[in-house]
């Protein structure tokens, strides 16, 4: 099984734009969800933001454009917090556009299985994967996700 680290960070570009990134995995195998600065890649509806899903697992590399809703990210943060607090909370993070799904399932020893897929926008290709992690990686992710949501929501 693959060890997983969840991390959300901001990356500054030469023009001081911020890119939100949610990295799920390690340096060799991971899913990265990145979104340019709020307001620059918004869909018609202010609740949708364009993201890139980049999966790097077992020699497979994909890069898929997708949209996520702020409400989906907010629920993701709440579910991660509940999982960390109880280690009994199973949940699914999925986009309404059905381009990404991550099923978080904890076990009695503190390990967390993440079973998921990424799918292209015309639904002709899907990559399934399984990653295993533990609860020690969740606190910084939860904190960083809260910071990202605070900034995103302050610009609306």
Which pLDDT tens digit goes with each residue over 119-133?
Answer: 988 899 898 998 877
- Taking residues 104-133, report their average pLDDT: 88
105 within 8 A of 115, measured Cβ to Cβ: yes
The sheet with strand 91-94 has its strands ordered as 91-94, 100-106, 111-119, 126-134
Q: 109-137 burial, b for 16+ CB within 10 Å, e for fewer?
A: eebbbbebbbbbeeeeeebebebebbeeb
DSSP H helical segments within the chain, as ranges?
70-86, 138-154
pLDDT of residue 36: 67
Distance from C-alpha of 26 to C-alpha of 57, rounded to nearest angstrom: 10
Taking all residues of the chain, what is their mean pLDDT, rounded to a whole number?
A: 77
- What is the tens place of the pLDDT at every residue in 42-78? 444 667 778 888 888 888 888 998 888 888 989 999 9
At the topology level, CATH places domain 5-154 in Transcriptional Co-activator pc4; Chain A (2.30.31)
CB-based burial of residue 150 (10 Å sphere; 0-12 exposed, 13-18 middle, 19+ buried)?
exposed
d(CA 53, CA 94): 12
Q: Whole-prediction pTM value?
A: 0.79
């Amino acid at each position: 099984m693959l060890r997983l680290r969840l991390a959300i960070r901001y990356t500054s570009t030469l023009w001081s734009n911020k890119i939100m990134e949610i990295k799920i995995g390690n340096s060799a195998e991971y899913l990265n969800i990145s979104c340019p600065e709020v307001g620059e890649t918004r869909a018609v509806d202010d609740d949708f933001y364009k993201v890139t899903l980049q999966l790097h697992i077992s020699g497979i590399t994909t890069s898929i454009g997708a949209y996520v809703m702020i409400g989906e990210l907010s629920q993701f943060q709440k579910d991660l917090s509940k999982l960390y607090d109880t280690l009994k909370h199973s949940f699914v993070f999925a986009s309404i556009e059905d381009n990404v799904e991550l099923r978080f399932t904890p076990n009695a020893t503190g390990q967390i299985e993440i079973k998921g897929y990424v799918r292209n926008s015309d639904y002709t290709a899907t990559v399934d994967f399984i990653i295993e992690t533990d609860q020690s990686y969740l606190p910084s992710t939860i904190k960083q996700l809260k910071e990202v949501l605070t900034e995103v929501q302050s610009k609306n």
